[in-house]
Structure 1
């Protein structure tokens, strides 16, 4: 006989977990099914572990460059297994925190470990880890199963021990030469990280620029910064074959505008994007529609085509960021529990690329403004002109801010130290609909990074 609950959540990501606790606190019976580790991508193979490794790489860089500040130092010795062990401890602590929150701190939540697939309307069959199965019915079902690494169709790849970001996070030996296929934010973060650990790094990208959604000047500045750190780039390259010889050397062959390139390395990271975990959920059984890539189609309330079934987080496509997944939870929570619906389409999209320096982005880029026919002016400022930058030696990058014909900020790209934090200041400015002269005349504590808000508009064009 089926077991009935008020709410069934498939996947314990950054939308599913808080939604489970919110419904439980509202007196609903909740069952959450997770096939892998609790916590979703952010805790297990995304934000938390990668930022822990980036912090270790930054420490190595600080030691390596200490003499620039008058501190005598030697080349840092990277104990890579110890770096990974620290990351593992942080991840394990987060997993345990999620488990305690779901199973001990909130009554009314049942956690099952297994694979869930639809067998009928509002009905799923769960294949549990102990090889038994359970049929579950629920009035409302929320799909929060996320994505996995996309693996391109590349001749020879099946015969090569390639890495995705998930496997790379568990590597115990430091690569001598890491080849990275993909020049998006994932490839750049891992590329700089491993370069600072001591690996040689080559990034191969099909586009003519890095970070395809950014303006050309931002991409060019990012590339210049990373090249100064020792990363190698092969842009406009279409990889077509990969092989590995008896000595373990991997050869990646690519067509480029300059001719055929054969790139050799000891390890290969595939960082060419993500694909949704929607293919084994039995969605066709209940009429849930997906697009050509497998992402679940939803309306502004995150409802699917099946009555009572919602899709949250990366599984429905669009920007794949933890903070967007968490806002999906808020949209559904406020709508279903408090009857205050708002559109999941009409919200800001802040994000940060955690290279050093960071790239913080909010609002429109120049390309987007032109495409939408928005009249704008642009202000740019080199980071080196900020007093705090000169004092700390963190002078790389520039600020770029767009204002409309009413003098309001409509977008910002902050490539510089603490770029994500500074970008959030501009997000607050945009939410408050402040005009840029108010920022120019605001009294800001000296010496802080925020003083750039006084100065960036001095050369507004």
Structure 2
């Protein structure tokens, strides 16, 4: 590989997560020389502190929950579960993370042959002639120029300013997964995907969990999602306090427990727990990058401002993944990385299109959606017609003896074109994936209602939901839908 004349490398990437690796692989395949700089652990959020470790622990917690719950669901099955050996559980999670980090990240650097530097990078030079100053752990310094730069530094947990919070101390989604013992009680602040997953995780491991939520659970999704998850959480002993805003945080000197004073529906209440987990969102990691010096503008939340092509306000500097403030999914970051390289080096002019982006929260039952919600469709001026199918009408859910949840379709009036799908239930993520293909194909409820669908699958529920537009589904044979 050879670099563009006059530069040290073709592409310099700051960060080593999903977006960075996708970009490096694409650029290397195009014959470009690549330098990747990482100041911390290779692999970024997903493999180290996000998707992989959290879902590994969620799977373990679900296994314990099933063991405790199976005898109630399935006659003739007797099960039990002992208290959790948290150090062993965390050690297993770490081993999984280390293995995936090696196989899917570290080893790929050697396989593809790009250069890697362990160190901290900051922009230098001018907007017209940007460069990177790299400081290595051993005290070394290196200056690098590139034809193109990619900022892929991700995001980190963010908490709002609350009196006493910093002094008292708190957990984030990152530090919570390193606990060596299950807290007897836990306060979770937030109602988004991370808060939902972490609350159920620790409840199933044995904590008494209370959630303090500003509006409602999964507030950006259909209201039926919140109602379904509220019911599930209530059954599992998770207390959800809505319309709650933190006023102050301190620690009870007598008990050592965290004490939270919150405004709740206009009044004031005090909550106590052994641990406090703040799951109030994430913010772009841009500290120390010196973006101003090279003319890269950032937004109110610190995100790198990019066009839909992912170029920043400096035409030689691009951004990918969470640092852009776009949807915080690793598959978005990976798509960003590839798209940015194609645009930067091939002038492809491709733009990010989120219309059919699936989104999943790995609660149990899971929540997943794709396309428009009912409110979004009406807000955009589209007259729509919706159907909500309770899972009691889905044969697979009946066989599973778990009918908690629903499938909702949003369709355009007149044409019947499906605009959105939301589901709460087992394998909801797979239902959303099927929804991506339905929306991409522009299919109508009539078409979906008449497609083949294998019996006793959750995906059959999509067909039944489509049939509910024209058929009384209570009068369908369970084996002949």
Partner of 1:167: 175
What does 1:133-144 align with in structure 2 at a 5 Å threshold? 133-144=141-152
**Kept after mapping to 2: 8 A contact 1:195/1:201:** yes
Q: CA deviation at 1:97?
A: 1.9
Paired with 1:427 and 1:403, the residues of 2 have a C-alpha distance of 14
* CA shift for structure 1 position 453: 2.5
SS in 2 for 1:15: helix
Q: Does 1:77 align with 2:83?
A: yes
Residue 36 of structure 1 corresponds to which residue in structure 2? Answer: 40
Q: Does structure 2 retain, via aligned residues, the 8 Å contact 1:37–1:95?
A: no
Given candidates 90, 104, 108, the residue that maps to 2:110 is 104
2:121 matched to which residue of 1? 116
Contact map agreement 1:53 1:87 (CA 8 A) in 2: yes
Query: By how many angstroms is 1:320 displaced?
Result: 1.1
Measure, in 2, the Cα distance between the counterparts of 1:115 and 1:329: 20
Partners in 2 of 1:378 and 1:55 — Cα distance?
A: 33
Unmatched runs of 5 consecutive residues or more in structure 2? 1-5, 471-481
Aligned to 1:248: 256
Q: Equivalents in 2 of 1:356, 1:243: separation in Å?
A: 32
The corresponding residue for 2:473 is none
User: SS of 1:17's equivalent?
Assistant: helix
Q: How does 1:10-409 map to 2 (within 5 A)?
A: 10-68=14-72, 69=74, 70-107=76-113, 109-120=114-125, 121-207=129-215, 209-246=216-253, 247-257=255-265, 259-345=267-353, 347-404=355-412, 405-409=414-418
CA contact (8 A) 1:253 1:261 kept: yes
Q: Distance in 2 between matches of 1:315 and 1:158?
A: 24
Q: Point out the more displaced range, 401-410 or 94-103.
A: 94-103
Checking the alignment, whether the CA contact within 8 Å between 1:409 and 1:426 is kept in structure 2 is no
Deviation (angstroms), 1:80: 1.2
For residues 44 and 193 of structure 2, what CA distance do their matches in structure 1 show? 20
Distance apart, 1:339 and its partner CA = 4.7
Q: Deviations over 1:327-376 (max 9, x none)?
A: 11232233345553321145522110110111111000011111101111
Q: Which runs of 5+ in 1 are unaligned?
A: none
Q: Distance in 1 between matches of 2:353 and 2:436?
A: 17
Q: Contact between 1:38 and 1:98, CA under 8 Å: does it hold in 2?
A: no
Post-superposition Cα deviations, 1:297-338, rounded to whole Å, max 9, x if no partner, equal: 111211111131001111111211111111112322333455
RMSD, matched Cα:
1.7
Question: For the residues of structure 1 that align with 2:324 and 2:109, how far apart are their CA atoms?
Answer: 27
- How far the C-alpha of 1:390 sits from its partner, in A, is 0.9
Contact 2:319 2:340 (C-alpha < 8 Å) held by counterparts:
no
- Relative distance call for 1:55 and 1:346 in structure 2 (3 A) is closer
1:438 paired residue among 440, 447, 459: 447
What are the residue-to-residue correspondences of 1:441-460 with 2, within 5 Å?
441-460=450-469
8 Å Cα contact 1:276-1:294 kept in structure 2: yes
Q: In the TM superposition, what is the alpha-carbon distance from 1:432 to its structure 2 partner? A: 1.3
Q: How many pairs are equivalent?
A: 458
> Following the alignment from structure 1 to structure 2, what is the Cα–Cα distance between the partners of residues 198 and 346?
38
Query: Is 1:122–1:139's contact at 8 Å kept on the other side of the alignment?
Result: no
| TM-score normalised by structure 2 residue count | 0.92
